[in-house]
Amino acid sequence: MSGDVIGYILRRILHSIPLVIGVSIIGFGIMHLAPGGPLAVYTLNPTITVTDIERLRVALGLDQPIHLQYLSWAKAMLTGSWGVTFFGGRPVLEVILERVPATMTLMGSSLALAIVIGTLIGILGAVKRNSIFDYLATTGAMLALSFPTFWFGLMAIYVFAIQLGWLPSGGMYELGEEGNPWDLLRHLILPVMVLTLVLLATWSRYSRSSFLDVIQQDYIRTARSKGLGERQILFRHALRNAVIPLVALLGVQLPTLFSGALVAETIFSWPGMGRLFVDALNMKEYPILMGMIMFTAFFVIVGNLIADVAIAAIDPRVKLA
């Protein structure tokens, strides 16, 4: 059994390799799409002459055939040297990694909330199908999928920060309060609310249909005819099978989570990766942009890998061979 699982994990990792290569080729391609190529920022600097740029081109190997450039770039990515920033000359990977904790705090709390609330809404909607609650939840999800996240964020700032003055309108800590968990919590509420809503809509709809599928199956009827309580049937028997498609959804939703975090971080000046990305965009910091694109894509690949392995672990029907 355990040998099977390890074999499955190894095979699944092997299947991810073409994806990693594909992602790196597209990332490399986009970098060369940039007007002026990777040296664009120097062409804008009046103190750097044409001969200087030519010398840089040769020094950086940009005069070589494109496939050789790709190979040396890919080798550098693999060894963790993701280039240096145009402004300040700091290692790109370091700049990105220092933003990870803030983004993970935001994404983690939103995801946890969305999973718990969304699953509960889904279960209730499935059990009390076509009730007023079900109708309201479906309409609410439809509405949440239709309005632009940033607009919802702006409205939340208007109500809770400007009008009521209950919560701060942005940032992670007040000045001088760095590291104070209560201050962090106050700043987290609005961005988490916005990001949770994005995920909640999809999550509650999927968990509703997943539970509907499961509770109509024979083994649930068997459990009911054994005289088990409704709560035990739902949370012990149905939940286990109903979460399997939801774990897959989790993997698929990762890109959406990153996109949502970018928007939430921009509106609430949250010092995470999304904010870094938008700032880099405004300053034409191509090395950071490329680093971020590659980082998020790798994260999505690894996330999906973990989701697949988790499904194989909880679902005995998945064939490992």
The interface region with other proteins, picked from 106-114, 205-213, 261-269, 311-319 by CB under 8 A, is 261-269
Sign of CA dihedral 219, 116, 254, 91: negative
Residue nearer to other proteins on the CB measure, 245 or 255: 255
Is residue 256 involved in binding other proteins (CB under 8 A)?
yes
What count of other Cβ atoms lies within 10 Å of the Cβ of residue 276? 24
Number of residues that bind other proteins (CB under 8 A): 43
Residue nearer to other proteins on the CB measure, 148 or 181: 148
Site for other proteins (CB under 8 A): which residue of 301, 307, 311, 312? 301
Residue nearer to other proteins on the CB measure, 160 or 224: 160
What count of other Cβ atoms lies within 10 Å of the Cβ of residue 154? 14
Residue nearer to other proteins on the CB measure, 10 or 145: 145
- Taking every pair of Cα atoms in the chain, the longest distance, rounded to a whole number of angstroms, is 85
List the x/- string, 157-196, binding to other proteins by CB under 8 A: xx---x----------------------------------
Site for other proteins (CB under 8 A): which residue of 194, 292, 311, 312? 292
Site for other proteins (CB under 8 A): which residue of 114, 199, 201, 297? 297
Residue nearer to other proteins on the CB measure, 83 or 234: 83
Distance CA 275, CA 294 (A): 16
C-beta of residue 45 within 8 angstroms of C-beta of residue 308: no
Site for other proteins (CB under 8 A): which residue of 7, 75, 90, 151? 151
Site for other proteins (CB under 8 A): which residue of 48, 239, 293, 305? 293
β-strand partners of 84: 91
β-strand partners of 108: none
Q: Which distant-in-sequence residues (6+ apart) come within 8 Å of 236 by Cβ?
A: none
Is residue 107 involved in binding other proteins (CB under 8 A)?
no
Which has the closest alpha carbon to 115: 7, 226, 257? Answer: 257
Which has the closest alpha carbon to 274: 194, 204, 197? Answer: 194
Is residue 212 involved in binding other proteins (CB under 8 A)?
no
Is residue 255 involved in binding other proteins (CB under 8 A)?
yes
For the chain, state the CA radius of gyration. 24
Which has the closest alpha carbon to 144: 156, 132, 127, 162? Answer: 156
Please give the residues from 6 up to 65 whose contact with other proteins meets the rule CB under 8 A: 18-19, 22-23, 26, 30, 33-35
Is residue 143 involved in binding other proteins (CB under 8 A)?
yes
Distance CA 289, CA 31 (A): 9
Distance CA 210, CA 224 (A): 19
Which spans of this chain sit near other proteins (rule: CB under 8 A)? Answer: 18-19, 22-23, 26, 30, 33-35, 142-143, 145-152, 154-155, 157-158, 162, 255-256, 258-259, 262-263, 266, 277-278, 281-282, 284, 289, 292-293, 296-297, 300-301
